[in-house]
Chains A and B, each alone.
Chain A
Amino acid sequence: MQKAIRAIAVLLVVGFLFALIIYNVTNPPKPDVSVWNKAMTLGDAQTADHFFYDYTDIMCPYCDKFALAMDKHLDDFRKEYVEDQKVFYELRLTALLASFHPDEVAIVENSTNSASAGYCAAEQDKFWEWYGWILTKLNNDYFSKGIGASAAATQHIPQLDVKYFTEVGDTIDGLDSNRLYECVGSDNTRTTVKNNTSKAARIVKGGLPYYVFNTYVSPGFDGNWEPDHDWENAKLMFDAGIASKK
């Protein structure tokens, strides 16, 4: 009798967990179709057939795996998806890691400052150039050395100075480092980051990165830090997004 009750209890727990997973997979949240920041988009929203939204945090290693592959194949993406498939792509930059780990000062500061710097680069209309630059820098300094690259990483990225995200030097034509630095500390930028992070928190379920490609919704990115391999995985997700509308 006791064994039967135990077996029923185990079955109930398994059934409950399975039902929750199915519910979560089959009930994705509705996407927010308004453009957050035009400088962080690719393609034309007016003529697009497909709408891809990518919720990210620059300090999130899994987001950066995807973003680095995307940065390396940006021309391919523009040609194959933006032009040929009429995709409208929007990167929705957040400081969600700061809200996931509110007690960890380094994560909060790095996440907030990097997102702020992104919005400030967008203000100077140099977002994509800056984004490629910071992704490469973070990868060279930390992720490629295994620092902060995964949950199993023994070393975490330390608290970085604001200048880490703003000292572009002469690497990006037309991007003023001083203006970028001043902008990061402004109340206006902080409010933008805070508001967009709150908006994202209502949509993002299951962690970062979070992709809403048409009706195909997927949290996480399954890459291994090899840009070509990562690009193959990213393309699978783009194709799944396009297929979801057909």
Chain B
Amino acid sequence: MVLRKIAKRISFILTTALDRTKFALVSIGYLLKQPKYLASFLVSLFVFLYILSFFKDGNGNWLLLCSGLPFGTKMEVLGKVCIKILENFTSLYGVLIIFMSILQALTIMLLIFTWRNREKDHAIDGASTGGIGAIFGFVALGCPTCGISLLAPILTAVAGTGAIAAAEGISHILIVLAFILLIYTVIKLGYVSFITISAKKYKEKKTCKRQLEQSQFC
């Protein structure tokens, strides 16, 4: 009896999650067809790809920018990151960075839409979850075998040299956590957007119908 109840509950949760994912995908597709939201998606995607690629192999690039190198050389360092963005397509690790940037860019795009069309502060919850996901992802990506990551200096500063060994294991957990949080946020914001879009369309239809009744054109 209890088992059947649990199974029923799980099946309900799964069905709801699948439905929400479907609605979220519909709203994402709808928004991506609109130039202003497509632009915000592309800009956010580039920004996140750039930041994650910049810190991909640890904080070496940042240290070069903080060093006494001439200004021109520092600009070269910044320019080389664009090549690293393209290099991402050639490795599994790079593909993870691209996937995370896409999720983050979608979150920003959906956030802009829900923010512009909000009636109640529904999106804020999703945004803060996405923000935490982004932080985790940002910290965790950049974790080669030898322990080079943003996480290692952070842990080192907190717990001393022994932290280096822990960084690799923890960062894998953070990557998974970051993806779960970001996917959850995209689905949640996407679902909210779907409701907003549907309401908007319904409203437009209703207004149109009224105008048609009054003036014979819409």
Q: Which residues of B contact A204 (CB under 8 A)?
A: 161, 164
Is the CB of B214 closer than 8 A to any CB of chain A? no
Is the CB of A244 closer than 8 A to any CB of chain B? yes
Closest to A9 in B: B128
Query: B164 touching A207 by the CB < 8 A rule?
Result: yes
Cα–Cα distance between A24 and B157 once the two chains are bound (Å): 6
Query: B153 touching A10 by the CB < 8 A rule?
Result: no
- Among candidates B57, B63, B154, B161, residue contacting A17 with C-beta atoms closer than 8 Å: B154
Is the CB of A3 closer than 8 A to any CB of chain B? yes
Residues in B63-98 with C-beta less than 8 Å from chain A: 63-64, 66-70, 73, 77, 87, 91-93
Q: Which residues of B contact A33 (CB under 8 A)?
A: none
- B interface residues, how many (CB within 8 angstroms): 46
Interface centre among B62, B91, B121, B139 (most CB of A within 10 A): B91
- Among candidates B56, B121, B157, residue contacting A20 with C-beta atoms closer than 8 Å: B157
Interface string of B147-169 (1 = CB under 8 A from A): 11110111011100100110110
Is the CB of B132 closer than 8 A to any CB of chain A? yes
Q: Which residues of A contact B64 (CB under 8 A)?
A: 218, 236-237, 240
Interchain nearest-CB distance for B141 vs A (Å)? 10
Is the CB of B199 closer than 8 A to any CB of chain A? no
Closest to A146 in B: B91
Closest to B65 in A: A240
Is the CB of A14 closer than 8 A to any CB of chain B? yes
Residues in A192-246 with C-beta less than 8 Å from chain B: 201-202, 204-209, 216-222, 224, 236-237, 239-240, 243-244, 246
Query: A206 touching B60 by the CB < 8 A rule?
Result: no
Closest to B68 in A: A243
- Among candidates B67, B73, B87, B158, residue contacting A244 with C-beta atoms closer than 8 Å: B67
Query: B146 touching A236 by the CB < 8 A rule?
Result: no
Q: Which residues of B contact A206 (CB under 8 A)?
A: 58-59, 147-148, 152-153, 156, 164
Closest to A27 in B: B157
Q: Which residues of A contact B150 (CB under 8 A)?
A: 21
Cα–Cα distance between A221 and B56 once the two chains are bound (Å): 11
Query: A20 touching B154 by the CB < 8 A rule?
Result: yes
Cα–Cα distance between A17 and B158 once the two chains are bound (Å): 10
- Among candidates A3, A209, A218, A221, residue contacting B121 with C-beta atoms closer than 8 Å: A3
- A interface residues, how many (CB within 8 angstroms): 50
Interchain nearest-CB distance for B2 vs A (Å)? 33
Closest to A243 in B: B68
Q: Which residues of A contact B57 (CB under 8 A)?
A: 62, 220-222
Query: A202 touching B161 by the CB < 8 A rule?
Result: yes
Q: Which residues of B contact A17 (CB under 8 A)?
A: 135, 139, 154
Is the CB of B187 closer than 8 A to any CB of chain A? no
Is the CB of B145 closer than 8 A to any CB of chain A? yes
Is the CB of B61 closer than 8 A to any CB of chain A? yes
Query: B93 touching A150 by the CB < 8 A rule?
Result: yes
Closest to B132 in A: A10
Closest to B139 in A: A17
Interchain nearest-CB distance for A203 vs B (Å)? 9
Query: A205 touching B156 by the CB < 8 A rule?
Result: yes
Q: Which residues of B contact A236 (CB under 8 A)?
A: 64, 69, 73, 77
Interchain nearest-CB distance for A242 vs B (Å)? 8
- Among candidates B56, B62, B67, residue contacting A243 with C-beta atoms closer than 8 Å: B67
Is the CB of A61 closer than 8 A to any CB of chain B? yes
- Among candidates B56, B93, B135, B164, residue contacting A100 with C-beta atoms closer than 8 Å: B164
Interchain nearest-CB distance for B173 vs A (Å)? 14
Known: A24-B156, A206-B156, A219-B152. A100 touches B92 (CB 8 A): no
Is the CB of B29 closer than 8 A to any CB of chain A? no
Residues in A40-85 with C-beta less than 8 Å from chain B: 57, 60-63
Closest to A17 in B: B154
The 4 closest A-B pairs by CB, nearest first: A207-B147, A243-B68, A220-B58, A220-B148
Besides the known contacts A17-B139, A222-B57, 11 further A-B residue pairs in the complex with CB atoms under 8 A apart = A3-B128, A6-B128, A10-B128, A17-B135, A25-B59, A62-B57, A202-B161, A205-B164, A219-B58, A240-B67, A244-B67
